Amino acid sequence: MTRPRQFAAVKAGGALDVRALDTPSASDGVARLIRGLIFSAELSPGDWLPPSRELAERLGISQLTLRVGLKSLETSGYLVTSRGAHGGTRVRDIETLSRIWVSWMEAKADEVRDMWEFREIAESHVAMFAAQRRTEPELAAIEAALTSAAADSHTAVLRWNVSFHDALAVAAHSSHLARAVVSVRQELFLPAGLLLREHPADELRAAHAEVYAAVRDREPARAMECMRGHIEGTREMVARALDELRGGGATRP
């Protein structure tokens, strides 16, 4: 039996630089982290997680803590575990993830509104600081993220989108702000399979190009405003998708 690719960031090392999570609520932290990786397409539908020993070592936690966190995600429907020689734990299919996403967004409607407000403030300031502080190599990295070909795969487009925002965060030279942006972004993204239908790659590229131009020209106020517009557009996209998935009659999250 041929498995889909494993979680590349964990398998390769380095891309997932996570501090030890072994605290009294470590299993909740594990569940939150992996759920965020699913929402942001670092883990895609059908992906297999690495063996538990390897994954626990990467996260700096005990295997028992990992098992508790994974069991929580399995109970919630994000993951499924099969037994036997070819068994393991993998991410559920896109239809299941979409249903779970709708339930999660509805259950946390008030928190979601707060997160959108925070994301708009945080990411617009990232763009502002990037326009003020970016170096030439950092500008080149932002441009490379902007112009890189986005494949037709839903997951590839989502990763391409994330790479642009990550390059901006590096150029902003604010590690705390960058971590906050990543955290809230993982909670709010659509399941990967809905991205292209709701937010075509050309539309994303155009929004990114406006931000890039302001950063290139060292215009902080314009960079900030362009990013605000981009986040508002993303918020509208999420609202449309949520409305469609739950059959209409939705209020904006």
Q: What is the CATH number of the domain that holds 175?
A: 1.20.120.530
Question: What is the pTM (predicted TM-score) of this model?
Answer: 0.72
- pLDDT higher than 60, residue 17: no
Cβ distance 44 to 155 under 8 Å?
A: yes
CA dist 74 and 27 (Å) reads 13
Label the pairing between strands 88-91 and 79-82.
antiparallel
Q: Are 113 and 183 in the same domain?
A: yes
Closest CA to 61 of 38, 29, 15: 29
Among the residue ranges 106-120, 167-181, 232-246, the one predicted with the least confidence is 232-246
Residue 59's domain comprises 8-92
Angle between helices 26-39 and 175-188 (to 10 degrees): 70
Q: Are 156 and 82 in the same domain?
A: no
Query: Do the domain assignments include residue 129?
Result: yes
Instruction: Tell me which of 92, 108, 135 is where a domain ends.
Output: 92
Q: What is the DSSP letter of 252?
A: P
Residues 6+ apart with CB under 8 A from 14: none
Number of domains in the chain: 2
Structure confidence by residue, pLDDT tens digits, 104-151 = 888 888 888 998 999 999 999 999 999 999 999 999 999 999 987 655
Q: Are 181 and 229 in the same domain?
A: yes
Residue holding tokens 């299919």?
93
Query: Do the domain assignments include residue 50?
Result: yes
Q: Are 105 and 230 in the same domain?
A: yes
Query: Do the domain assignments include residue 42?
Result: yes
Instruction: Tell me which of 59, 92, 125 is where a domain ends.
Output: 92
The residue ranking higher by pLDDT, 66 or 18, is 66
Q: Are 104 and 85 in the same domain?
A: no
Which residue type occupies 240? Answer: R
Distance, CA of 81 to chain centre: 23
Structure confidence by residue, pLDDT tens digits, 193-215 = 555 565 567 788 899 999 999 99
Q: Are 145 and 235 in the same domain?
A: yes
